[in-house]
Amino acid sequence: MFHTVDDVTPQALTALLRQAAALPQGEVAGVETRSAVSNQFGKVQMLYHLRLRYSGAGAARPPEHIFLKFGHSSKEALFYTQIAPWMAAPPLLRCYFAGYDPQADRTCLLLEDVSATHTQTDWPLPPAQPRCQVLIDALAWLHARWWQDARLEGDLRQALPAGRSWKDRLALAVETLPTFLEFLGDRLPASRRNIFDQVLSSHQPLDALPGSANLTLIHGDMHTWNVLFPNAAQSGDLRIFDWNMWDIGRPTDDLAYMMALHWYPERRSRLERSLLERYADRLAVYGVKGYPMKTLMEDYRMSVTRCLFIPIWQWQRGIHPSVWWPHLERAIQAFDDLGCQKLMF
């Protein structure tokens, strides 16, 4: 377990890569820190790009480039140690090491670096439609893999750290709502303030899940800048990363986070329905039964309604207004466009 980049020695990397079956012979002869990124959008984390040199590796092809990530999320370490190993060929970065030090509240990850073959869409631009389609396919695969899996309400539910579930974040947002509205003042008109009053007074509880049906593992922070898309235009070999907010919930929570929270009405009007239909088709291909488009749309509208509270939680965390203010605008527009109010009464 590394605590700073200075702890990353060739000897330590040799041991970890060998344990991960990434270095069958030879040893790491040198480590070069090429770049570092820190504290993006209010997240306390450090991400280093490391270049490795080897001696005696022979015909083996150990990783020449890796990411070293430090953060404060035991959930992400849990994901790579307890969830990722249960999936065959998942659309994820390979993890060579994941550890969490509870005393220091420090996470350390060694991850595959695919920057030579993959890229992110420049924030805040959304990806082009073909990339959205391959992402929808990947999400359908991931959701289908965990659809109503017994471990969701067993080992994984127990593994969720206290206070770190979506239900906990929603409760905090509801508690923070009066302070948030006071802060906004006349920047949020009465007609929009009334939306929150109506939602919270509804007979439909926001944090309710559909019984034991339609539950799956969700990413929880499914914006498209948490995806590395392949440079090859026709390839579906993408990588979804940043799993520090994984959770158990509706599959549509990821879809609404991706589209309703981040896309303006014009783009949603062109792509939203077709992508949701594609998702439903792919779920069926991957073996999910009994989830018709009608049910998916009902769940999607409820997920969109829950998106109203994400900007409040982000504001409470101190995330910059350039993130949460557009989220608030787009979430309200999606709530209106999709007739979500009809679900609440």
Q: Where are the domains of the chain?
A: 5-112, 118-344
Q: Amino acid letter at 284?
A: A
Could you tell me the two tokens for 319? 């995330």
Residue 217 pLDDT: 97
CATH architecture, range 5-112: 2-Layer Sandwich (3.30)
Q: Own/partner pairs for 262-266, CB < 8 Å, 24+ apart?
A: 262/124, 262/126, 262/223, 262/224, 262/327, 262/330, 263/126, 263/330, 264/330, 264/333, 265/333, 265/334, 265/337
If you average pLDDT over residues 204-213, what whole number do you get? 68
pLDDT of residue 235 exceeding 70, the answer is yes
pLDDT of residue 112 exceeding 80, the answer is yes
- Give the pLDDT band (50/70/90) at residue 41: low
Candidates 3.40.50.620, 3.90.1150.10, 2.40.50.140, 3.90.1200.10; CATH matching 118-344:
3.90.1200.10
pLDDT of residue 295 exceeding 90, the answer is yes
Alpha-carbon separation of residue 31 from 8, 14, 48, 60, 67 (angstroms): 8, 11, 12, 18, 12
If you average pLDDT over residues 243-264, what whole number do you get? 96
Cα–Cα distance, 277 to 169 (Å, whole number): 29
If you average pLDDT over residues 288-317, what whole number do you get? 96
CA 96 to the chain's CA centroid = 20
If you average pLDDT over residues 9-20, what whole number do you get? 97
Element (H, E) at 327: helix 321-337
Read off the pLDDT of residues 117-168 as tens digits, 9 standing for 90 and up. Answer: 999 999 999 999 999 999 999 999 999 999 999 999 888 988 888 888 888 9
